[in-house]
Amino acid sequence: MPAAPVSGRTLKQQVFECVRAAGTIPRVDVARQLAISPGSVTALTAELIEAGLLRESDAPRREGDASRGRPPVALGIRPEAGFAVGIKLSDHAHSAVILDFAGNRIGQASVRSDALQHDFDKLIAAAEAVLYDALRPSGLTLSDIRVVGLCLPGFVDHESGMVPWSPLIRERDLPLRAIFQDRIGRPVTIDNDANMVTLAELWFGAGRGLSDFASVTIEHGVGMGLVLNHRLYRGARGLGTELGHTKVQLDGALCRCGQRGCLEAYVADYALVREASTALNWGNRGLTDPHVLLESLYDHAKAGNEAARAIFHRAGRYLALGLANIVNVFDPSLILLSGERLRYDYLYAEEVLTEMSNLTLQTGRPPPKIEIHAWGDLLWAQGAAALALEQATNVAVGADAASAA
Amino acid sequence: MPAAPVSGRTLKQQVFECVRAAGTIPRVDVARQLAISPGSVTALTAELIEAGLLRESDAPRREGDASRGRPPVALGIRPEAGFAVGIKLSDHAHSAVILDFAGNRIGQASVRSDALQHDFDKLIAAAEAVLYDALRPSGLTLSDIRVVGLCLPGFVDHESGMVPWSPLIRERDLPLRAIFQDRIGRPVTIDNDANMVTLAELWFGAGRGLSDFASVTIEHGVGMGLVLNHRLYRGARGLGTELGHTKVQLDGALCRCGQRGCLEAYVADYALVREASTALNWGNRGLTDPHVLLESLYDHAKAGNEAARAIFHRAGRYLALGLANIVNVFDPSLILLSGERLRYDYLYAEEVLTEMSNLTLQTGRPPPKIEIHAWGDLLWAQGAAALALEQATNVAVGADAASAA
């Protein structure tokens, strides 16, 4: 018989999260949602109020409730109970977002970057700088921040705080969490960037209330975050869901990871750029900024250059194949596409979606919904802040012997 | 904020499953494992004993416990509290297994089949026949069986009881559960066969105690079952994890599902058979039994026929790619390979495992363990029986207002 899975959350944590999810909620509704006794709720919320994490407020009257008298009492989070910061590092910009304890965004900052220069000291300095940029207008200081969440592309081991590989960092197996923690003197948590935009969708976006969805990101590379049963799935060993490196062609195009046939090697901008100089006949004009080359390729395709169109067409078809494989394996109800490169509309052209549908198992049901979310980087940073807030909450609410599995 | 996931299991169910997983267990250990009070355990087990589902027995003495006196009392399942049958239908054999309420196998039967004849009435009659074959020696009658679990290859919707498509059935969208239930007059539950061998691994096999693993099956087609967080994952919409129909080649080989480039179209026996007549120069000898053709191809490959070897070599490489993609997305700690076709050892030759490793993201950690489980069909049927037993248990133990989320 299988070992019974244990939820790992104490009842007190569940009560707290129930209140945060609701915003404002009467005790009796907390008891009903968690299927526990009103007495337990009263006892646990008393501890949470005592600890300065919850407060009482007037509950909004239910519709049709014409009674005068004293309005019913509800529970809410004390927003000033603590703050968390999230930072997104990328090849084109670094961004930071501050959340209060109730999850409201109360500060933000962004700076342009060219992190592909691979200078690690500059990268860390830039991360610190954007953190202070976000703090300054809010009137908070670093000591007000309970946890800082940091996300970046590549293979990031959230549990151990190590970065086995990132396109932004030349070194392999870097203990990034420890390094940044030492530098700023506050607790740090790190994760892959695609996971964080997925967490943001789960907490604040289209994923609220969905049990299972996939979020595919197209930036310098191709990433994915998966939510299974309302929780971010990081793979069984913590480095999972590397959609960009699933193989779509045996012995195919060379990927920057060193292997051949990865989805990224057909869809990412570097994959387009390396064919661009051929298509544009730029071979003898020497090296050009890849962003300039890509923009030019895109303009030529729009203007009818067949070679340029063929490059985007192939990239779109491989993206369709990659998305179809996600559907064939996970059968999610929703796939979100986001990331900086979605301003290239060939990535979600009607023909790409049709091809995806044609490569998906025909079971008689409609294919999953695809939504394009051209959020800026701030949503990614907000996801990293949510991760940090979750960690801060676990520490603040604490473990509790009365945990129910 | 995300909605808090609810476990959906009552405390009473958790207590019951805890006892079944342990075999024999003192009340105090149940309380410790579930982190609930000994008083709650006493109250809940009293109800379960009253209902005839649990019984008290002597607990095995702990090592070093030299006390004489009365041995401590433990809890166990009453095996005779109810029985469940599981049936596996396939292209080469039909099998059935009977489990008692404690999960012990107490009966079994197998008959050869050629279910690809696509005669649905014969298929249903054969399912009923193998069920009676298993019952007869056990001394049980159909009325002793609480639930019958039925599994088969193809797209099977466990929730609705519908079969959108199966290679064993010509009709599409067949309400198989209702049909078989009407025929035998007992509750029936249905599922995909690869899911059931995976459930068997989770309950009885290598998956016990693993939170996340993948089980890949190679029979007439290629299937997969996924266990995530100790539970079988059926995809968000109930038809998930169709590894055999993930695309490994854009515009590739034609699959029997009608699409091109599916993994199955390179690895399944029909994929090999359709190239075999070319390799063996049998084109002008007319149609042959595909099993005979495949066996002959295999013998030729072993004897050094280069064309025959090339067919198996390519199939092995595509299987490696399919497995590598599972690792790249799920990062499981273990992949189990099972199914009738594993007697063709090219499918797990050293070069296939090496290729898989080469196609897997290099993160500095060892690739996941691969185990070959050349179980017979009975284990698959036992998985279907476990599914049936789970349903019987849910009904018997029942819902309970004191459920803890």
Q: Residue A196: which pLDDT band, with cuts at 50, 70 and 90?
A: very high
Q: Is the CB of residue B259 less than 8 Å away from at least one CB of chain A?
A: yes
Which residues in chain B have Cβ-Cβ distances shorter than 8 Å to A243?
A: 328-329
- Region B98-113: what's the mean pLDDT? 94
Residue B236: the pLDDT is: 72
Residue A403: the pLDDT is: 38
**In this complex, do B4 and A248 lie within 8 Å of one another by their Cβ atoms?**
no
The reply to whether A242-332+340-372 shares the fold of A82-199+379-394 is yes
State the burial class of residue A343 (Cβ atoms within 10 Å of its Cβ: 0-12, 13-18, 19+): exposed
Task: Among B92-96, B290-294, B304-308, B381-385, name the one with the lowest average pLDDT.
Answer: B290-294
HEC string of A117-177? HCCHHHHHHHHHHHHHHHHHHHCCCHHHEEEEEEEECCEEECCCCEEEEECCECCCCECHH
- Region B62-79: what's the mean pLDDT? 75
Mean pLDDT of chain B: 87
Q: Name the residue ranges covered by the structural domains of chain A.
A: 11-77, 82-199+379-394, 242-332+340-372
**In this complex, do A236 and B1 lie within 8 Å of one another by their Cβ atoms?**
no
Residue B11: the pLDDT is: 83
Q: Residue B400: which pLDDT band, with cuts at 50, 70 and 90?
A: very low
- Tell me which residues of B are annotated as active site: 193
Q: Is the CB of residue A403 less than 8 Å away from at least one CB of chain B?
A: yes
Give the pTM: 0.86
Q: Which residue has the higher pLDDT, A236 or B257?
A: B257
Q: Is A114 a catalytic residue?
A: no
**In this complex, do B17 and A7 lie within 8 Å of one another by their Cβ atoms?**
no
Task: Among B57-71, B105-119, B149-163, name the one with the lowest average pLDDT.
Answer: B57-71
**Which of 1.10.540.10, 3.40.50.150, 3.30.420.40, 3.50.50.60 would CATH assign to domain A242-332+340-372?**
3.30.420.40
pLDDT higher than threshold 60 for residue A126? yes
Q: Residue A79: which pLDDT band, with cuts at 50, 70 and 90?
A: very high
Q: Residue A62: which pLDDT band, with cuts at 50, 70 and 90?
A: low
B385 φ, ψ to 5°?
-65, -35
Q: Which residue has the higher pLDDT, B294 or A63?
A: B294
Contacts of B241 (CB under 8 A, 6+ apart): A329, A330, A331, B194, B195, B224, B225, B226, B233, B234, B235
Q: Which of A1, A37, A156 to mutate to test the interface with B (most CBs of B within 10 A)?
A: A1
Q: Is the CB of residue B174 less than 8 Å away from at least one CB of chain A?
A: no
Task: Among A205-209, B46-50, B158-162, name the one with the lowest average pLDDT.
Answer: A205-209
Residue A4: the pLDDT is: 43
Residue B252: the pLDDT is: 94
- List A77's β-bridge partners, or say none: A54
Q: Residue A64: which pLDDT band, with cuts at 50, 70 and 90?
A: low
Please give the CATH architecture assigned to the domain spanning B82-199+379-394.
Answer: 2-Layer Sandwich (3.30)
- Region A372-383: what's the mean pLDDT? 88
Residue A65: the pLDDT is: 60
- Region A300-318: what's the mean pLDDT? 92
**In this complex, do B401 and A229 lie within 8 Å of one another by their Cβ atoms?**
no
Which residues in chain B have Cβ-Cβ distances shorter than 8 Å to A368?
A: 237
CATH number of B11-77: 1.10.10.10
Mean pLDDT of chain A: 87
Specify the pairing of strand A83-89 against strand A155-157. Answer: unpaired
Segment of A60-64, A130-134, A230-234 carrying the highest mean pLDDT? A130-134
- Region A72-89: what's the mean pLDDT? 94
Residue A169: the pLDDT is: 92
Token representation of residue B115: 């279910």
**In this complex, do B237 and A333 lie within 8 Å of one another by their Cβ atoms?**
yes
CA separation for the pair A105, A386 (Å, rounded): 10
Residue A402: the pLDDT is: 39
Which residues in chain A have Cβ-Cβ distances shorter than 8 Å to B209?
A: 3
Which of A193, A212, A269, A377 does the annotation list as catalytic? A193
Of A5, A329, A362, the CB nearest to B241: A329
pLDDT higher than threshold 60 for residue A249? yes
Cβ proximity of B380 and B348 under 8 Å: no
ipTM: 0.83
Specify the pairing of strand A188-192 against strand A145-152. Answer: parallel
pLDDT higher than threshold 80 for residue A309? yes
**In this complex, do A257 and B362 lie within 8 Å of one another by their Cβ atoms?**
yes
Cβ proximity of A131 and A184 under 8 Å: yes
Task: Among A57-61, A231-235, B210-214, name the one with the lowest average pLDDT.
Answer: A57-61
What is the CATH class of B242-332+340-374?
A: alpha beta
Q: How far is A209 from chain B (nearest CA, A)?
A: 6
State the burial class of residue A268 (Cβ atoms within 10 Å of its Cβ: 0-12, 13-18, 19+): buried
Cβ proximity of B336 and B213 under 8 Å: yes
Type of residue found at A387: L
